[in-house]
Chain A
């Protein structure tokens, strides 16, 4: 057996937008074990729920993450609405769905750009982020903000979007789709990309399921698990099939996200076609009492928001289980046996969001 050495990876590393530290136990160039450390951006956001009005807390819930911000806010609202048994107006439900899918589009485009950057494919990185700008423009024009939208509230949404504007978004997505086709052709078919990602960081279907993987990491290992299938928001009235790949490697995770771009565009089209007229919010009176687990499919995978309330304006407990947190054990399993030079790409393949994971 070779002599083992430990190489620290992170918390500051060119491939990591956020701080994650991994102690890599190496034998020569090969990773034999990985020990993660987190805590560099732990903000104690869950604890804040004890000091903020439950209606105002949606602004904090959104700030758990700068990329999945809208879906965090929406899932928190779902949890509170579940406790209070509120039936949100259908138009608000559809608007939430449109904004959720726009969030997925910009997140996946962001990640594809980061992946290209991690491989040294700079022009591809810029192409992905150029397309992402169009999606951010749509979010800004409909909510007033690019990153933290502030559009969701308990009982509905804060902004209506005219049918004309929704049509404009759909027309714009038509053009965006052509650009995304060119972009994803490179990720899916380019030999150098395939060579860099194939057979790397492999998770079998059983491993992914047993280790609690979520989102594209789980689907890339052959499990057709997508929380949108549970029918939250307007997804019970829209048609889609989860994107599934079976190889379980970095390439499969890339292909899943690339194909999901088009699923999102299709879902937005369906939602705009079916969005009903009517109010966008409802009057919410009183305080919640009870508990509720709400789940949504974020771009990185399943997120769980749990709230417990005792009838006062402050919640007793707010708990968030983010996809990155549950994807950490699968990442450790996927890294065993890889070469040191492959570590950045494999880490990136789960689309880690440490701000989310630590809250």
Chain B
């Protein structure tokens, strides 16, 4: 049984777009964009694969609520990942080709899924929302 090498490279936010464009020009496929909250910071990982199955991950680390640039100018299909990250983690992604504005997941309850709505929700409001959801 073989295990794939874990090639994870952490880069600066400012280097993101040039590096992603470099992967695009090299002919890589965008496999996934993932986000994880680790020790209060957001790790956003862009995973690529070349035609020989070489799996490469570029990672940026940004604070909560940060603004990151969209990679959709390089990879058109990246909007599904970027909208998901916006909705689930409250990060702002600028320049997306398709921006759902916090409604990518069409859930009945906007919070915690819709980042745009989250600052307006008080603890009491959240409790009422949850009760309404359960009653429904």
Contact = CB atoms under 8 A, between A and B. Distances in A.
Contact of A321 (B6, B8, B34): B34
A37 B106 contact: yes
B6 A292 contact: yes
B4 A230 contact: yes
A79 B35 CA distance: 17
B3 interface: yes
Contacts of B4: 230, 232, 293-295
Contact of B106 (A40, A93, A330): A40
Contact of B105 (A225, A302, A358): A358
Contacts of B57: 293
B76 A229 contact: no
A129 interface: no
Interface stretch (B25-33, B61-69, B118-126, B128-136): B25-33
Interface stretch (A118-126, A176-184, A206-214): A206-214
A35 B31 CA distance: 21
A338 interface: no
A227 B2 CA distance: 12
Contacts of B75: 210, 212
Interface in B43-65: 45, 47, 51, 53, 55, 57
Given A236-B1, A293-B47, A308-B38, A21 B106 contact: yes
SS class, residues of chain B in contact with chain A: mixed
A281 B135 CA distance: 45
A319 interface: yes
B117 interface: no
Interface residues of A, number: 44
Contact of B38 (A231, A293, A316): A316
Interface residues of B, number: 35
B80 to A, nearest CB: 6
Interface string B90-109: 00000000100001111100
Contacts of A328: 77, 80
Contacts of A302: 31
A212 B79 CA distance: 12
Contact of B77 (A35, A211, A321): A211
A144 B38 CA distance: 39
B11 interface: no
Contacts of A78: 3
Contacts of B27: 209
A230 B2 contact: yes
Contact of B31 (A93, A229, A321): A321
Contacts of A316: 36, 38
A111 to B, nearest CB: 22
A146 interface: no
A328 B2 CA distance: 30
A39 interface: yes
16 contacts: A38-B105, A38-B106, A40-B106, A227-B53, A231-B1, A232-B3, A234-B1, A293-B4, A293-B57, A295-B4, A302-B31, A304-B47, A317-B38, A319-B32, A328-B80, A329-B79
Interface of B: 1-4, 6, 8, 27, 29-32, 34-38, 45, 47, 51, 53, 55, 57, 75-80, 98, 103-107, 113
Interface of A: 21, 35, 37-40, 42, 78, 82, 88, 93, 209-212, 223, 225, 227, 229-234, 236, 291-295, 302, 304, 306, 308, 316-317, 319, 321, 325-326, 328-330, 358
Given A317-B36, A317-B37, 13 more contacts: A37-B103, A38-B104, A39-B104, A39-B113, A93-B1, A210-B75, A211-B76, A236-B2, A292-B6, A302-B31, A316-B36, A316-B38, A321-B31
